[in-house]
Each structure stands twice: as structure tokens, then as C-alpha cells.
Chains A and B, each alone.
Chain A
Amino acid sequence: MKILAPLNDINYLEKFIVAGADEFYLGFYDNSWFDLFGKYSDINRLSGFAKYSNKYNFFQMIDVVKNIKDRGYTVYVTMNANTYGKDQIDYVEKNYLPYFIEAGVDGIIISDLALAKKIRDYNMPVIASTMCAVYNSDIAKVLQTMGIERMILPRDMSLDEIGLICRQTPSIEYEVFFMRNGCVFSDSFCLGMHGPGYESLCVLSRNCMKKIYTTCNERDKVELNDHLYNARFHNDACGMCALYRLNNMKIGALKIVGRVDNPDAICSDIEVTRKNLLLLEQCTSESDFLNKIQIPCQTVKTCDFGFSCYYPEVRF
């Protein structure tokens, strides 16, 4: 399994490589795009956070890509906004694709199938983002007929289901969410605006004044459930304990999430993931692995009850 890491600062490339990353993904901003299509037309899912999440403009990003390729590593570019209009797809074809190809980008992470089709017309690989909602093997097979051979499975899936999909579609390479930034909703269908001036729905739903209407007489259970959901669930997320099972499923890549996160923290996650992958090679069983596993330091104190687990069914 490969470790896929977000890169938002070229100064961390060497550190991430030494820590053990195999692949990288990054985004970019382009003022010309926003001038042409308006401020609500995202280039990628994090465009709303502007340069905080997309530090480099398009040509700077291309230079970063070339840097990564010169080092012999794999790099993907994200174009996974909710949706793209026809004019935007034409813009990508004319203004971005030639540079992606020339720089040697290994693939484009896409959300929109029309954009995927356009990119595939140039024989460039595409990776189906979690925005493509590959929740079952039927959907995966349809996307595969479009030439999409690598897919990111949604966060809100159990290990059993991931395993089932892998067995049903063994020729597809799957990437799973592995470290950082849990989400209470589905990436694929969370359509609130992300960015300054808009409070994300997950934050709003936890912190907003609300009324609960119920015919149930168990107020204590409803309140406890509400409190745990708001205060504890997926404030962070870690999938380290699932490594043994993911390896058995022949998962292709482990995604460390967080283009806006502290790069030192990401580096630390890459290191501990690499150490546990090496440990995996020596373990003869899952219990052997779980006894020896190194837990990422920031999640040790949040490991109780599985609220910070991507795959809590391993321990709970």
C-alpha cells in the first residue's frame, strides 16, 4: 500500500519523502478562472479557502509537479469541485491539460464525469474522487467502463463494505481515507459552501441553537446522543488500526487528508504510517499487529469509544 500525502508547501517535499510518502496530491488557484466564471465557481473542493488551501497558482503548481517528478515520485492534481459547466471543461482542456501532460502529472483527481471524459480523451489517467460516490461495485463498474481505473472510496463506508467492493472489482485500484479530518456527512453529497464567510454545515449543525422534536420519551438518550455527536464524533480521524485488514483487501493507497493542515503534523502522520507498514510485514496476525502498533500521538487520548476512528469496528 502506498502512502498518499497532501502537499501544500514545496519546502516540505523532502521531509515528506524522508518520512515515507510514496505519492502526493495538490491543488492550485487561478485568478483568471474566477474572473471568467465568478467567485462561486470552484476549481477544486477547497477553492473557497483560497490561498490557505491552494498556496500555488497554476504555473507555480506546475513547477511543483515537475519538482516531484524529477525526484521520481507520483503526483496527482485535484480538480474535484462539486460540478463544472461546459465552458469550464473547455477552459480546462485549453488552458490546463497541455501543461498537465507536459509536466508529467500522473493523474487528475476528478469529481465530474464529463470532465473525466474530456481528460481521458487525452489518455491522461483520472482518479474518481470521493465526490463520485463509489458506494457499491455497480457504480465502480460503470466508472471503469469510462476508463477510470483508480477510485477513492467514500469515508462513510465500513471495512466490510470496502472489502466486498474490492472482491467484486479486483482490477480497480482503490484508495481509502486513512488519517486526519473525519467528516460527519458524505463528501459526495455535502453541498454547503466551504470557505470564509460560510460556516460549514458540519460545524453549524453541531453549534447552532436548535430544537429537537420527538415523540420519543427518552429525552436523556436523545440528549446524550446529541452531545456525543456534537462534542466527540470525528473531531479528528485515524484509520491506523485498520491497516492489517486494508492490506489484506489489497488497497492501493492510504490517503492522508489535509491540504490545509499543519505540514509538521502531516509529516508525523506519514512517519508513523510508514513505521506501521513496516511492522505489518513482520506480523503474523491482526492481533499481533494491534498489540505492537504505534498509535499516532495526537489521537492516543481520543481513541476511546471509537469516536475518532475512520474504522471503529476494528477495536470496538
Chain B
Amino acid sequence: MIINFCDVLNMELLEKGIICKIIKKYNQLERYYIGSYFCSQYFLHMDFLEEFFSKYENGVKSTLVIPIFTEKDLKKGKEKIEEIFRFWGNCLDEVTVNDLGMLFYINQNHQNIKVNLGRLFWKNSRDQTNGECHEEEIYPTILPIIKDFGLSYCIKALELDKTNNKIYINAGVEQGCEIRYHSPFCYITTGNICKFASVHKAIEKKFRPNCSCNMECQNIYERYEERYGKNVELYRIGRAIYLFIQKVNINNAILDYQSIYFPFLELSHSFERNVFSL
């Protein structure tokens, strides 16, 4: 079992014992995912690593997930990565990257670290309101590109979202490469303009790309419920919108896979929240 704490883990959850309850629920826990897929602000301001690793490391390895940094955060992002490796490198044995630039950086500076290709590398369309699901053969065309760059050897796993009822991965995948699927939330869109980060901004300063914030996303989320009479199970969590998929059968023609579980609903139900409909 892999538990994904990306974009949601914070000091308050640790101090209130909520993380402890979630971890205790799952036997055979083999890995944590820490970091962010979607937000450089979250990644740069992670202040809970000491607390988390000191309490929960216990022989369970962690994967550092690195978002795509925009130019202004690129240098700071790399400094943060180096700081994390310096202090907690013994807890981390792999990283997940979401862009080619970071793949090159990690390969050049941490050659002993295995790298996963994160969910942002895969761009097959996802239907959100139409109930029709379709079979689609996923051919990861980025892999030959990475092979041309001579970096295939450092790729440990491909991380995918469950975008269809059936997903086939053909022989384009290198021997020994793992497949990991995110569950039960499938990301369908994201961007650098964070709606929640603007809650406390003056009107004329709202909705700027990758702006500074007070981590409002840790205290707000949205659930989209109904459109044209149809149920829509969409969630806005941080910068991303996800489709909640409870049951998807994965038919993988070639390879076994592992699930990366995102316990967002358990985390969110731990807090008493104001709820209002709009």
C-alpha cells in the first residue's frame, strides 16, 4: 500500500493525530508520497517534514514528489530539494518528477536516486460529465524520448490516473518498469492560477498565476454536485480538480500495477467544517 499525502499534509493534521489514525488503518504500508504534484507554493512551504519523518518513518520509505516550478521558483525549488535530501535523504529512496527539466536535474545531481514519471506526463483526455467511458490504448510516447536522452535506466515507475474503464499499456514500457495508479481521485485539470489563494487578496490582486498565499487550500475545498440534472463527482482540492472514481477495473495487458491511495476524504472528514452551497 502506498499512501499519497501530496498537497494535503500539514502540521495541524500531524499535531491532532489525524495522520496517525489514517496510517494505522492500513496494514502492509510500504511507502508514503510526500510533496506536491500541482503547487510549487505548497512544496516550498512544507514545514512538517521533521515532525512527519520523526514520527512515522519506522522503516517505511518515502517518495518525494516534485511539482513543475515556474521560472521564479526554479532556483528556490532546487534549494528546497537539496535541503530535503540533506536532512531526510535516508528516508527517501525515490522521487517523482513531473517535467523533463526536473528529470534532468535529478539525474545530474542525484544519480543514485530512482525516478518515477509523475501523473502530469500523461495527457490522455478524461471525460467528466458524460457517463460514457471508453477503451483507450495508452502508449506512453514520452518513454522513447527519455530513452533517446539516455535516461531510461533511472525510471523506476510510471504513475497514471485511472482515466478509463480499461487501460492497456503496450510493450513500449521498459522491462522492469513499475506501473502505479492513483486512486480514488483522478486529476482532470490544474493550473497556476489558484482560486483559493485569492480568498484573502484584494480584488485587483486576485487570480494571479503562482502567487504567494496563506495555504488557504488546507482549509477549503469544493465539491461539484449536479449539472443539468446529472450527478457530477468532482472535487477542487488546491489547484487541481479531480474526478472521484470509486470503482474502475484496470485491465493491464502486460504488467502488474500498484495503487497510490489518496486519503483525502478521510482527512477532510476529520474536521468540522462550515459547508455552504452555491
Contacts and interface: CB of A to CB of B under 8 A. Distances in A.
**Chain A bound to chain B:** yes
Contacts of A186: 189-192
Contact of B71 (A83, A136, A197, A199): A136
A267 to B, nearest CB: 29
B87 interface: no
A139 B124 contact: no
Given A85-B137, A89-B141, A191-B126, A136 B70 contact: yes
Interface in B26-63: none
Contacts of B219: 214-216
Contacts of B254: none
A219 interface: yes
A66 to B, nearest CB: 31
A296 interface: no
B199 A211 contact: no
Interface residues of B, number: 76
A46 B234 CA distance: 24
B110 interface: no
A201 B273 CA distance: 26
A207 B268 CA distance: 24
B220 A213 contact: yes
Interface in A186-230: 186, 188-193, 197-199, 201, 204-205, 207-219, 221-223, 225-226, 228-229
Nearest to B232: A208
A200 B160 CA distance: 22
Contacts, number: 252
B223 A213 contact: yes
* Interface residue SS majority, chain B: mixed
A142 B100 contact: yes
Interface string A80-97: 001111100100000000
A135 B130 CA distance: 31
Interface of A: 38, 40, 42, 82-86, 89, 111-115, 117, 131, 133, 135-139, 141-143, 146, 154, 156-158, 160-161, 164-165, 168, 183-186, 188-193, 197-199, 201, 204-205, 207-219, 221-223, 225-226, 228-229, 233-234, 305-307, 312-313, 316
Interface of B: 68-72, 74, 99-102, 104-105, 120, 122-130, 134, 136-137, 139, 141-142, 144-145, 148, 163, 172, 187-193, 195-196, 198-200, 203-210, 216, 219-227, 232, 234, 236, 241, 268, 271-278
- 9 A-B pairs with the lowest CB-CB distances in the bound complex, closest first: A138-B101, A114-B141, A186-B191, A185-B191, A156-B192, A139-B101, A156-B209, A82-B123, A316-B204
